[in-house]
Structure 1
Amino acid sequence: MNHISQVISNMTTDFNGKVIKKYLCEGCGNEVTVLRMKMLFGPKKGEWFEGKRGCECEVYEIVRKEQEQAKTARLKRIFDENSLINESLKQATFENFEPNEFGQALQKAKQFVEEFDLRNPKNLFFQGSFGTGKSHLSVSIAKALQEKGFATIFISTPKLLTKIRNTYNKNSELGEEKIINAIAEADLVVFDDIGAEGEYSGWSVQKLFEVIDQRAGKPNIYTTNLTSAEFEATKDMQRIFSRMMMNSEPIIMNGTDYRKRQFLKGAKENV
């Protein structure tokens, strides 16, 4: 069945049509003709109705929605294909974060999303003990920005270093350059668990510095369990710490391990 606009476009004043007015559509920019016509068929045959021809806003809206859906799918694919994320974090969102004593950290994370601007890049630096929710908040930020149309990647740094090492294998189908380029081109990169690999010198630290350094001037999020003193232990770690602190807002999250809190909560409920 033809759309009503197609029917109208085929009608002329020979069908008792009358041009009421013409105007330029602000949406599509086309000249639109408003017609008063008599219904020629169907149960309302003989009744008068108004229609318009020339406007393409409906078509443009269909195209816009299709482009938006394609962009959303592309951003999700970028996140899924390039992120190195633990299974336990894949469902993390702001909504299922239990703030406890870290309500302020949650608010700062949400504020970071609200104020995110590629023209004014800022970083967040989550530092604190194990299991306090640093990674959870970082994943939540990455997902929220993805929903706003930004390309984001979440990277467990130990997994990143392992993945880069594997590219040196002659049978590897993935090259180091492809990994580095994906990280460089993202709107936001989360570097999670920096220092968890346990090597504070040598190849791993040098490579991590190279990756972080090429993100200079772009928005990043860093999470670490290391203290400032541990970063100052070697010159290589000092260089990484210096890069991480550039234009970064520190958020300290020292407290009880989330898993331990859940265990203690369950123990109390079973008493």
Structure 2
Amino acid sequence: MRPGPARPPGSSAAAGYANTAHTKGLMYPQALRILVVDDNPLNRDLVRLQLEEFGFAVETVCNGEEALLALTASPYKLVLMDLHMPVLGGRETIRRLRATDGANRDVPVIALTAQTCGSDRETLKVEGFNGVLYKPLEMDELAQTLAVFYPEAMSAANQAAAAQPGTWPCLLRRANGSVALAQLLLTRLMEELPRQMALIMQALDSGQREKALESAHKLHGSAAYFDLNDIKAAADTLERLLIAQVKIGEQAACNRLAAAIDAFLLQRDAIMAEAALASAS
């Protein structure tokens, strides 16, 4: 039996999900469920797809508050949690989780963060995390971390494909070689980038700098995941300006980011054609 239908990104895992995970012929019981906590829908879906490629049952939520609700409602064997999220961030979430008497109090929690954030492994360990994975997640690094907790399961899982340059090969690599998953990621990427750019412009026009920063951070993370270096660099510049509250250069940074996204969207037909060829082969 395959898992039940996936819920929309960001919906509460507390409502219940699949009893099993079935991917590439691997099937594990409900006891091997993993919770993914990330406010970025692209990152969240990517991590879910990567984990499902290894055969695990995965549930996702979009902030620490939803994570605590899910952890109160159901047992999990592992949690992958972003550090920087609105509503409730990863550090405060782990503090509250470890202070409870619930069944998931001691569940292993792996921090997800960008290397540029300067998060220290030892500091995170003291705070209650059991490890850290740096974005963008590589399949081999994810496999190594999973093997610490599930050595028998991971011995049966396929390892990541070799790295290749280019947008489509990167998507394929992130999807562990699955053409269908890579095509889905591409479609969502093409939708999410301009949507977040529009949110940044709207937020800045209305003086909501925190919301603009939130969207810039999401764009930065998505671009890093998919090796979109021009978008990543432009988003990083804007993010730094917003954090430092430096308005000089802000508009130029926005224009640069918008131009980088437009340039990527112009490649849509070429990337889609490459994806179609891969699907037909």
User: Larger % of strand: which?
Assistant: 1
Larger Cα-atom Rg: 1
TM-score after normalising by structure 2: 0.29
More relative contact order in 1 or in 2 (CA 8 Å, sep 6+)? 1
